[in-house]
Amino acid sequence: MPFAFTFVCDLLQQLSDNQQLRTGQKIDANIVKAWFEQHRGQLNRGDTDPSALLSTLLPDKRTDRVYGIQAPRLEKKIARVIGLGRSRIAELSRWKTPGSGVDLGDCVERILTDTPNPIFPNSSRVTVEEIDIILHAIARKCRFSSPAIRSSPVPSGLGDPESALAGIFKRLSARDAKWFTRLILKDYRPVALDPYVVYRFYHPLLPSLLKIQDDFAAAARLLHEHLQNRRVVQGSPSKSDLVRLLKPTLGIKVGRQPWLKGRSIKHCLDMGRGLMSCEKKIDGEYCQIHIDLSKGKDCIQIFSKSGKDSTQDRFNLHEAIRASLKLGQPSCRIKKGAILEGELVVYSEKEGKILDFDKIRKHVHRSGSFLSTEQDSQPHHWEHLMIIYFDILMVDDDTFLPLRHSERFRRLTELIECKKGVADVVQRQVIDFSDRDAASTLRMAFGQCIVSNEEGLVLKPDDPYFDFSSTKHRFGCSNIKLKKEYFQGFGDVGDLAIVGGRYEPAAAKSFRIPNVKWTHFYLGCLENKEEVQRWAVQPRFVVLNVVELSAPLMETFARCTNPEAVPVEEGTIVLRIEPGTANGKWPTHVFTNPPVCDVRCFSFHKQGNTGFWSLRFPAVTKFHLDRSILDVMTFGEMQELAEADKGNVPVADSQELEKCIALLKKADPKGARRDRSSQSTIITSSSTSSASARLSKSPNKSFPPPPTCKPQTAQRAVVLPEQGAMTPPRSSAVVGEAQENLASQSPGSKPSRKHGPPESPEKATQRPAKMAKVTTTPLSSSLPSSQTLDSSPRARRRPLGDISASSGRVNTLSGEHQHRSGAVFHSQPQLNMEEGKNNDVPETDNLVTDLFCDSKVQLPSDKPPDPSNNAPRYPCNVSGAFCPFSNFSAVIAPDVPDRDKLEELLSRHGIKCVGDDPEEWKPLDGPQNSQVKLALVQARDKEATLEFFQQVEDVGLEWQRGKREFVEVYDWRMLEPLTEREAMQAAEETRETEGRYKAYLRDIIRRHWVGLA
């Protein structure tokens, strides 16, 4: 029996309702799992089309389908289908009103709630298969759909797709019509289904199948075939089964590897391991090239990054591919077919170099049309497309996916015929990340890339393309992008004005802020600054870009700036908006007093149909409340800055390289140990001549050697902020009086549970403690003193290459002795270690502290320590010393969603994720472990959280002398707002906002604090 569409709407509505709950929220993954278990019987019967179901659940994954229907056009269709009058049409159009908080789907639901459709029997229910056929037929008529969709046969008995679409609306309930409207628009926001969760709960083998064959129909067909033949069973197949089954197929795109962003050199060293291929990042368009010699002259097929078939759009590249692979020649090494990866670029024979990314649009059309080229020059005869290969996935019947990257690259260089301006293999060098000089070598290579004005670097581990083993490395098979805009201190442009705003309902629903009036903001430069200053004339702005704000910045914009807005026709400022700036979308309002903001970007480029330089990938970093439009950059200054950045850069001299490397060092976490070659500021060419910097097989493919830098006086003293007293975010009874009152408890007594809000440590010492039930020892007696830490070998200076997130933490504290407890520090007199037996807390059968308790956090002070002391290190590369969680060891509970993103955020804070089981901490337990342990849970699921607490209790973690250890537990949602807030603080040039920053940080930690285990 076909699958009913109302079942899909049940899932989407449950997820939407769950997001609206203030308390008791469930995990989205658990909701999806329960939904699949509920319908498992029907899904296993085999009469449901998996491709249709997956296309309905994840419409944005169907990039091959383009319907050509946007919200305004769909609104008119719905009004005509339902037969609305003028007053009802106005109600249907309410989604256009800024601040309404509804989208077109909500308006459709309200209309059909007031005047519902007739009730049809179950035999006439709308199914996902029926919807999939209609949407496929609509996409078939759009020229922007893929060639396979456009050439597919017309379904028999369908008739006019537009009429069939109208018939669907007439048979749906109000709720189902809302989700069907969003399905057509390919936007379910605020609901966002995780594709991996959907694949895994449909069948455990499906995620692996889609990596190899990134097509719903092909993966479902392969899954059905093997299930029918009983080659695999439902469950986790062995690695040998996957290698045998998962083989690429010509004509079906292979999925891409995971990509990570390197935020600092230290961050890259933490994520990488062993031999890493350091490749130059090419600023072009990704191509996955399939060669099928059985098709004769039409043997070339090209897929874009999105998965769309771009063979005809990139027809001008075919000749370069034929020449590089010697297709049609006797010396061609391909007998049946091959799959390769590369980047499409434009090469100039006249200038002898690869041109900017903007030149590609003149040589590559989109579904038969050249888009946004009206103001570009015509393609010159000395310009042509070029392909730069960087990986090979299959040749003939041999799949290269299980091979290591070094072996794949060797096979690639043997297959490709390189020719200048036609085809080439990416330049690279190999760096051994286990070498002590790895940080220096990588920093030198990246610095050379920056001063040469190149795109960046890509770091690839020497791993298989995909690893399906159960013991894979945390960041295994993941490529690391290294761009200068990811680093603090790079990419800053200056002050611009936000001159206007536009409202989009779907984007507004993503913010948990009421009455959002604008979601897209227009950045402008002042064009007549001198006239405004001298004669106070009407200001004229040139709009450069349209940006969206992050959630914290949106809150700041609404609370602090809140500019006065008027319709565009009533504005007191003049805006110059070129057609290509906002793709024809003008602001709905302009701001009479435009806010001034700080902006950073990757580089400059000329957008189509603009004719001037604008920002590429711009992002607002902060607002300046004390500045006016006279402080923003002028249009002329912006163009001069872009010309200087994009101009021909000569061979970098030693001074430029030295400045760049100094900035890269500064971007590393504050207090992080450097590699041995960076103990001083002396930079010589010998720093890159280490044996670890192995070059590729072809000498001409390696990076050019960097110039020798002038030596300077070594600076060996490092001054860092002092680590001040901090109060942990927990019940004051645990921290404030644990050391004084725990010993007085009788062995059989059970402390009372604390319900009220926490008190400060000062107040807590004035009254008896209301303690939670504790199963640990006094905080101070469970840790060694700072004197012991200072004298230990752990306090010695080590190279950056030897430091990882799992390295021990060294704390050098001035003044009275301070001891580490949980996330933060608490200043207390040192207790005698020999008296620990008198301070033991009686074991109980309950967990420690209340869930969701409220408390205060005191952040480190800024007073610098005595330079004579050994400075503590801060592995957090977001905010350095001001991160309260740097160098922790973390476990993520099994039911927490989006683990890959969380692991990346943890690594940015210097937190080592050891897995999802508290047992992983056991090998690290003991006196030699100085890392504080942290756990991330799904706090909304109290039952699962309490079960996780019990698992931690059962592990029995201990400090020295058998003392029990605390594990701090937080809700997993803490990481993202914490990272954004720390990044904003790290971008500040002054410390004027530090008080506000600390308050925000306290609030974030307090809101997500769960308890102690």
Token pair recorded at residue 721: 């902020």
Phi, psi of 176 (to 5 degrees): -65, -35
| pLDDT band for position 237 (cuts 50, 70, 90) | low
Half-sphere exposure of residue 44, counting CA atoms within 13 Å on the CB side?
Answer: 10
> In angstroms, rounded to a whole number, what is the distance separating the alpha carbons of residues 355 and 348?
7
**Pairing between β-strand 912-913 and β-strand 889-892 as defined by DSSP bridges:** parallel
Out of 282-291, 840-849, 906-915, 938-947, least confident range: 840-849
Enter the DSSP assignment of 634: B
Name the 3-class secondary structure at 847. Answer: coil
Which fold would CATH assign to domain 492-646?
OB fold (Dihydrolipoamide Acetyltransferase, E2P) (2.40.50)
Asked if 5-202 and 492-646 have one fold, the answer is no
Highest mean pLDDT among 13-22, 287-296, 573-582: 287-296
**Residues making up the chain, counted from first to last:** 1013
Q: What is the CA radius of gyration of the chain?
A: 30
> In angstroms, rounded to a whole number, what is the distance separating the alpha carbons of residues 658 and 639?
27
User: Is 123 within 8 Å of 202 (Cβ atoms)?
Assistant: no
Class of domain 259-486: alpha beta
**Whose structure tokens read 């390919």?**
186
State the average pLDDT for the chain.
76
Tell me the pLDDT tens digit for each residue of 68-118: 999 999 999 999 988 888 888 999 999 999 888 899 999 999 999 988 888
Name the 3-class secondary structure at 588. Answer: coil
**Whose structure tokens read 């029997």?**
121
> In angstroms, rounded to a whole number, what is the distance separating the alpha carbons of residues 945 and 43?
31
> In angstroms, rounded to a whole number, what is the distance separating the alpha carbons of residues 280 and 603?
17
For range 734-753, the mean pLDDT: 39
Enter the DSSP assignment of 560: I
The single-letter code of the amino acid at 326 is K
pLDDT at position 22, please?
66
More confident residue, 155 or 461: 461
Class of domain 5-202: mainly alpha
Where does 558-699 show beta strands of DSSP type E?
Answer: 565-567, 574-576, 589-591, 596-600, 603-605, 614-616, 619-624, 693-695
The per-residue b/e assignment along 539-567, b for 16 or more CB within 10 angstroms, e otherwise, is bbbbbbbbbebbebbbebbbeebebebee
Token pair recorded at residue 289: 């090239």
Q: Which of 498, 490, 493, 512 is nearest to 623 (CA)?
A: 498
CA distances from 263 to 27, 443, 890 (A): 29, 13, 20
Please name the residues in contact with 20: beta carbons below 8 A apart, sequence gap of 6 or more: none
DSSP string, 379-434: PPTTEEEEEEEEEEEEETTEE-TTS-HHHHHHHHHHH---BTTTEEE--EEEEETT
CB atoms within 10 A of CB 408: 21
Out of 21-30, 445-454, 670-679, 724-733, least confident range: 724-733
Cβ-based burial of 764 (10 A; exposed 0-12, middle 13-18, buried ≥19): buried
% pLDDT > 70, the chain? 73
Please name the residues in contact with 471: beta carbons below 8 A apart, sequence gap of 6 or more: none
The single-letter code of the amino acid at 174 is A
Tell me the pLDDT tens digit for each residue of 948-994: 888 888 877 776 666 777 888 988 888 888 887 777 666 554 444 56
> In angstroms, rounded to a whole number, what is the distance separating the alpha carbons of residues 594 and 566?
12
> In angstroms, rounded to a whole number, what is the distance separating the alpha carbons of residues 37 and 50?
15
Parse the chain into domains and list their residue ranges.
5-202, 209-245, 259-486, 492-646, 732-1012
Tell me the pLDDT tens digit for each residue of 920-933: 777 655 544 557 78
Enter the DSSP assignment of 592: S
Vertex 866, ends 862 and 871: CA angle to 5°? 75
CA distances from 680 to 671, 706, 712, 718 (A): 15, 18, 9, 10
More confident residue, 397 or 959: 397
Please name the residues in contact with 243: beta carbons below 8 A apart, sequence gap of 6 or more: 402, 468
> In angstroms, rounded to a whole number, what is the distance separating the alpha carbons of residues 596 and 598?
7
Out of 184-193, 292-301, 428-437, 703-712, least confident range: 703-712
Please name the residues in contact with 412: beta carbons below 8 A apart, sequence gap of 6 or more: 340, 389, 390, 391, 392, 425
**Whose structure tokens read 């041999």?**
398
Name the 3-class secondary structure at 655. Answer: helix
The per-residue b/e assignment along 414-441, b for 16 or more CB within 10 angstroms, e otherwise, is ebbeeeebbbbbbbbbbbbbebbbbbbb
Say yes or no to pLDDT of 686 above 60. no
Q: Which of 332, 285, 635, 280 is nearest to 452 (CA)?
A: 280
Highest mean pLDDT among 378-382, 427-431, 873-877: 427-431
Say yes or no to pLDDT of 222 above 90. no
Q: Which of 882, 836, 897 is nearest to 984 (CA)?
A: 882
Q: What is the torsion angle, in degrees rounded to the nearest 10, for the CA atoms of residue 269, residue 270, residue 273 and residue 274?
A: 40
Say yes or no to pLDDT of 556 above 80. yes
Highest mean pLDDT among 277-291, 744-758, 787-801, 923-937: 277-291
User: Is 681 within 8 Å of 712 (Cβ atoms)?
Assistant: yes
**Pairing between β-strand 520-526 and β-strand 540-547 as defined by DSSP bridges:** antiparallel
Please name the residues in contact with 71: beta carbons below 8 A apart, sequence gap of 6 or more: 95, 103, 104, 185, 505
Tell me the pLDDT tens digit for each residue of 763-781: 344 444 333 333 333 333 3
Tell me the pLDDT tens digit for each residue of 339-358: 999 999 999 999 999 999 98
Structural element, H or E, at residue 684:
none
Half-sphere exposure of residue 307, counting CA atoms within 13 Å on the CB side?
Answer: 18
Q: Which of 641, 640, 627 is nearest to 496 (CA)?
A: 627
The single-letter code of the amino acid at 521 is F
CA distances from 851 to 144, 845, 893, 950 (A): 53, 16, 16, 13
Task: Estimate to the nearest angstrom the gap between the alpha carbon of 452 and the chain centroid.
Answer: 27
User: Is 276 within 8 Å of 478 (Cβ atoms)?
Assistant: no
Name the 3-class secondary structure at 338. Answer: strand
> Beta partners for 340?
289, 392
Q: What is the pTM of this model?
A: 0.67
> In angstroms, rounded to a whole number, what is the distance separating the alpha carbons of residues 852 and 971?
9
Task: Estimate to the nearest angstrom the gap between the alpha carbon of 798 and the chain centroid.
Answer: 31
Tell me the pLDDT tens digit for each residue of 591-636: 999 999 999 988 898 888 888 999 998 999 999 989 999 999 999 9
Task: Estimate to the nearest angstrom the gap between the alpha carbon of 47 and the chain centroid.
Answer: 37
Helix/strand number for the chain, H first, E second: 32, 30
Say yes or no to pLDDT of 733 above 70. no
CA distances from 230 to 47, 359, 439 (A): 18, 52, 50
For range 482-506, the mean pLDDT: 88
